[in-house]
Amino acid sequence: MVHGGHPLNAETPPHLLRESFVTPVDNFYVRCHGNVPGVDPGSYRLEVSGLVERPLRLSLEEIKELPKSEVTATLYCAGNRRTELTEVHPIPGKVAWGTGAAGNARWGGVLLRDVLEAAGIGEGVRHVAFTGLDRDVESGTGAPFGGSVPVERAVADGTLLAYEMNGEPLTPEHGFPLRVVVGGYVGARSVKWLSGINLQAEPSGNHYQAVEYKLFPAHVTAENADYSEGEMLGEIPLNCVILTPENGETVVPGLVPVRGYALAGGDRRVVRVEVSADGGGYWNEASLLGDDGPGTWRFWETTLRLSPGPRRILARAFDSGGGAQPASVWEIWNFLGYANNAWHGVGIEVGG
C-alpha cells in the first residue's frame, strides 16, 4: 500500500504481514524522507569521527572483514498507527500509516560496537550520531537524514551495521550498501545509506532527532510548538496489533481465529497478549508463538466464539517490565502523531 512515490513510502497490508515471522523483503514497509540514493559500493566509504582516538574511513570490504553477526530485529516506524490518532484530531501533512509500518528481518552485518572499538571511544562520549547519504525532501532542508542513540545502546548486542537483509545484500530502498539497525528503538534511528558515525556529548542535531520524532503533550499544536521542547523518541513503546481479521471484514459465526503481532521496546519482552470481544469486559489470553528475544516482535493467536452481529475485537499486550498499554487514543494524542500504542481494535461483521 503506497502512501507516496517521492519520497517513497509504503506499508504492508495486515494479512501479508502475518504470513511470515520474518517479513520478505518484497513485502517490507519502506519509509523515506528524501530520495533513494544510488550508491557505488566501490567508492563507498564510512567515516567514523568525533570524540574518537582514531578517526576511521572504511571501505565496504574493510567493514566486511570484521566478524559477521546476524540479528533478528523488528523495524517499527514511530508513525505506525497514526491514522487511528486522527480520530481525535486531524494530523495534516503526515504519512497516514495504518498498522503495517513494521516488519521483522534477519540482518547480517557487523556489530556497531566492533567499529566503535576499532576507532576507540573517547572521553565524554554520550551519544552516537548517524548520517545518511540521502537528501531530505519532507522538511525542505535538503540535508541528509540522521539521528542518534545513547552510547549504551550503540554498543549493545542488538545494534548492527547491516549489509544484508534476509540473507541478501540490502536493496536500494532499505539502505544499500550499509545501514544501522537498532533493535528495540524506533525505526528512525536505524539510518539507511549510512555515510558517517559521529561520537559526541549531545544527541544528534539533525532535523529528525532535534525537531521531528519528538513526543509532545496533547495541548501542544503545530502553531504553538517550541520544538526545542518535547521528548526525543527512543525505545519503541509497547504495542499490539490485530492483523486478521481485518477491519470491515465479514466472518462466519462460530470459532473465529484472531492473529497479530506484539512488540516491546528496549530490552523488554512481550509476556502476555489479551483479546476481548466485548469491548474490554472479558479478556481471553492469546497464545504467544516463538520468542526471538528483545527487539523482535512476537506473533500471537487465539480463537473467539462469536455469534452473529457487528463485533469490535480488541487486543492489548503486557511486557516484562510490567508495562501495559493505554486503553484509548484519547489518552496519547500528539500533534505529530507518533507512538500510538492504544489498545488496537478492529470492527468486523459476524454473519453471512
Ligand X SMILES: Nc1nc2c(c(=O)[nH]1)N[C@H]1C(S)=C(S)[C@@H](COP(=O)(O)O)O[C@H]1N2
Residues 113-132 touching ligand X, rule: CB under 6 A, are: 132
Instruction: Reduce the DSSP state of residue 66 to 3 states and report it.
Output: coil
Q: Work out which of 71, 73, 75, 77 binds Mo ion, going by CB under 5 A.
A: 77
Q: Which is nearer to ligand X, 33 or 82 (CB)?
A: 33
Q: Which is nearer to ligand X, 121 or 133 (CB)?
A: 133
Q: Which is nearer to ligand X, 31 or 316 (CB)?
A: 31
Shortest CB 88 distance to ligand X, Å: 22
Q: Work out which of 97, 185, 193, 297 binds ligand X, going by CB under 6 A.
A: 193
CA distance 144 to 33: 9
Using CB under 6 A as the binding rule, whether residue 32 contacts ligand X is answered as yes
Using CB under 5 A as the binding rule, whether residue 207 contacts Mo ion is answered as no
Residues 319-338 touching ligand X, rule: CB under 6 A, are: none
Residue 344's CB is within 10 A of a number of other CB atoms, namely 24
Q: Which is nearer to ligand X, 76 or 318 (CB)?
A: 76
Q: Work out which of 121, 188, 236, 342 binds Mo ion, going by CB under 5 A.
A: 188
- List CB contacts of 260: < 8 A, sequence separation 6 or more: 18, 240, 241, 242, 243, 244, 273, 299, 300, 301, 315, 344
Using CB under 6 A as the binding rule, whether residue 94 contacts ligand X is answered as no
Shortest CB 32 distance to ligand X, Å: 4
CA distance 79 to 260: 18
Q: Work out which of 11, 84, 134, 319 binds ligand X, going by CB under 6 A.
A: 134
Containing 314, the helix (H) or strand (E) segment is strand 309-319
Locate all alpha helices (DSSP H) within the chain, ordered by sequence.
Answer: 14-17, 60-65, 82-85, 112-119, 151-154, 207-210
Q: Work out which of 174, 259, 298, 311 binds ligand X, going by CB under 6 A.
A: 174
The answer for 234, left when phi > 0, alpha when psi is -120 to 50, beta otherwise, is alpha
Q: Which is nearer to ligand X, 193 or 333 (CB)?
A: 193
Residues 27-66 touching Mo ion, rule: CB under 5 A, are: 31
Q: What DSSP letter does each residue of 129-193 carry, written as one string?
A: EEEES--BSSSS--PPPEEEEEHHHHTSTTEEEEEEETTEEPPGGGTTT-EEEETTB-GGGS-SS
Q: Work out which of 11, 14, 18, 31 binds ligand X, going by CB under 6 A.
A: 31
Using CB under 5 A as the binding rule, whether residue 234 contacts Mo ion is answered as no
Segment lying near ligand X (by CB under 6 A), choices 117-125, 185-193, 232-240, 311-319: 185-193
Using CB under 6 A as the binding rule, whether residue 77 contacts ligand X is answered as yes
Angle, vertex CA 153, rays to CA 151 and CA 155, nearest 5? 70
Q: Work out which of 36, 191, 273, 306 binds ligand X, going by CB under 6 A.
A: 191
CA distance 352 to 253: 8
Using CB under 5 A as the binding rule, whether residue 81 contacts Mo ion is answered as no
Nearest to 148 by CA among 228, 76, 205, 71: 205
CA distance 135 to 330: 35
Total residues at interface with ligand X (CB under 6 A): 18
Segment lying near Mo ion (by CB under 5 A), choices 74-82, 173-181, 227-235, 317-325: 74-82
CB-based contact 233:78 (threshold 8 Å): yes
Shortest CB 195 distance to ligand X, Å: 9
What is the contact surface with Mo ion in residues (CB under 5 A)?
31, 77, 187-188
What is the contact surface with ligand X in residues (CB under 6 A)?
28-33, 75, 77, 132, 134, 145, 174, 187-188, 190-193
